[in-house]
Amino acid sequence: MQVLAEAKKSGATAAEAGVNISQGLSVTVRLGEVETVEHTRDKGMGVTVYFGQRTGSASTTDFSEQALRETVRAACTIAKYTAEDDCAGLADPERLAKAIPDLDLHHPWNPGMEQAIELARAAESAARGLDTRIANSEGGSLSMHEGLEVYGNTHGFLGAVAATRHSLSVSVIAQDDSGMQRDHWYTVARDAGLLESPQTVGLQAARRSLRRLRSRKLSTRECPILYEAPIATSLLSHFVSAVRGSSLYRQASFLLDSLGKPIFADFVRIHEQPHLKGAQGSAAFDSEGVATQPRDLIRDGILQGYVLDSYSARKLKMQTTGNAGGVHNLTIDPGQDDLAALMKRMHTGLLVTELIGFGVNTITGDYSRGAAGFWVENGEIQYPVEEITIAGNLKDMFRRIAAVGSDVDTRGNIRSGSILIESMTVAGS
C-alpha cells in the first residue's frame, strides 16, 4: 500500500502493484551421484502507474523505502513519455474479487537436502534397475517451491495468495542393438503427500523408454490420430492462443469472429474450473484482481466466450473474463473410454506420445509437427514409430475430434484425457 500511496502522491490518477516472494530447493541425481543442488530465494515488486491514459511501469528487487520510492518515480517518468491509450487502465471496480476463498494451495515441505537427494536417487534407481537395457540416465530430479504473491490497486483491492508446487521427475535412455531411445515421467502436486512414489515415477520412465526401442518409420498416409493425454493438452493450448484477446484484436487468429459458431465436434465441452481445491491452475482472482468464475468456453462444440483481460476486452468492446495471466484449470470433459478402449475404437491408426518442434500457425490454423509414438492395428499396439510428421489444420482437427478419453492428465493448468481425431496426414518415408 505504501507504493500505491507514493504513486498517488506523485500525481498518478491510478496505480497497481504486485509483490512476489519465493523460495525453493532443486536437486538432480545422475547415475546415482549428485549432479546439482540449487537453493533459490527471490523477491520482486512491480508497479504500473496511470496518468489518465498514459502508462508507465517499473520494477525492483530492493524493498528498501528509498528503492520503492525511486521505482515509483521511474514509472511516473516513463508514463510522461508514453502515448495515450484509451484502453489502458485498471480493471473495472465492480469486477474485482470481493471474497477470496481458501483453495488449498499452500503446503510447505522441507525434507532437507539429504532426504531430497535420496528421493531423487530412489526414483532414478528404480528406473535403472528395471531392465539391463536401461543403459544411461539424464537424471532424477526433485524440486520444491513456495511462493507468496500480493496484488493491490488504487480501487482498494488487496489480495494475497500463498502457494506451493513440488515435483519429482526421471529421464532415462534405453539401448539395444537397434539404437537408443529416451523418455521420461514426472509427478507434480501442491501437497508433497500427493506425489507419486519415487518407485512409481522411475518405473514409468523406464517402461516408456523401453517400449520405444526398435522404432520404425511409416510411409506417408492419411489415418486416425490418437493423442496420448499428456500431449493432448497441447491441442487445447492452441485453442486458447486462438481465442486470447491479444490475438483477436490484432486480427491474428484463425478463430476471428467465431463467437456463437461451432468450432469443435458437437459433443465437446471445454470449461474453466478456477476454484478446484489444490489444483495447479486454481485462483480466486486473476493478475488484475478480477474475480474468477467457472465458465464454458465451448458448449456443444460452440464457442461461448473468449479469453480476455481488461485491456483486450476494451479493445474488443467486451468485458474481461478474468483471464489476465491465463486460463484457470481449463478442462475438456472426458468420455467413458480409457486409452486401451480408445485404441480399440480407432482400430487402425497412430498413437502419438511425443511431439517435436512447434510448426503451428495460429493465424491460419495450419498444423505440422514432428512426432513419435506407436502404430496400432486391430486396436493393439504393433510397433513404435519415429521420424514422422503429423499435419492438418486446427479448424478441421477440432471438428474431427471423435472421442476424449477418461485418462485425464491433471498435472497442469490444462486438463485433458487422450484425444482421438478421425483423420490427419502422416508424412513419413
In this predicted model, what pLDDT tens digit does every residue of 74-133 receive, in sequence order?
Answer: 999 999 999 999 999 999 999 999 999 999 999 999 999 999 999 999 999 999 999 999
User: Of 179, 210, 241, which closes a domain?
Assistant: 210
Q: Give the pLDDT of residue 1.
A: 76
pLDDT in tens, 327-379: 999 999 999 999 999 999 999 999 999 999 989 999 999 999 999 999 999 99
Q: Which of 153, 187, 210 is the last residue of a domain?
A: 210
What is the largest distance, in Å, between two alpha-carbon atoms of the chain? 73
Nearest to 213 by CA among 257, 240, 245, 182: 182
Q: What is the pLDDT of residue 280?
A: 98
Are 278 and 344 members of one domain?
yes
Same domain, 165 and 137: yes
**DSSP annotation of 316:** T
| 0.75 exceeded by pTM | yes
Residues in the chain with pLDDT values less than 70: none
Collapsing DSSP to helix, strand or coil, 74 comes out as helix
Helix ranges (DSSP H) in 296-409:
310-315, 339-346, 394-399
Query: What is the tally of structural domains in the chain?
Result: 2
User: Of 51, 155, 151, which is closest to residue 94 (Cα–Cα)?
Assistant: 155
User: Are both 327 and 192 inside the same structural domain?
Assistant: no
CATH of the domain at 11: 3.30.2290.10
Domain match, 145 and 280 both: no
- 247 and 118 in one domain? no
- Same domain? For 126 and 37 the reply is yes
The range of the structural domain enclosing residue 120 comes to 2-210
Q: Considering 155, 175, 210, which residue would you say is the last residue of a domain?
A: 210
Both 12 and 138 in one domain: the answer is yes
* Same-domain check for residues 94 and 45: yes
Same domain, 219 and 359: yes
Looking at the fold, whether 199 and 342 belong to one and the same domain comes out as no
The 3-state DSSP class for residue 320 equals coil
Question: What is the three-class DSSP state of 318?
Answer: coil
What is the residue whose three cell numbers read 502419438?
A: 352
Cell numbers for 394: 486446427
Together in a domain, 314 and 168: no
Q: Same domain, yes or no, for 267 and 353? A: yes
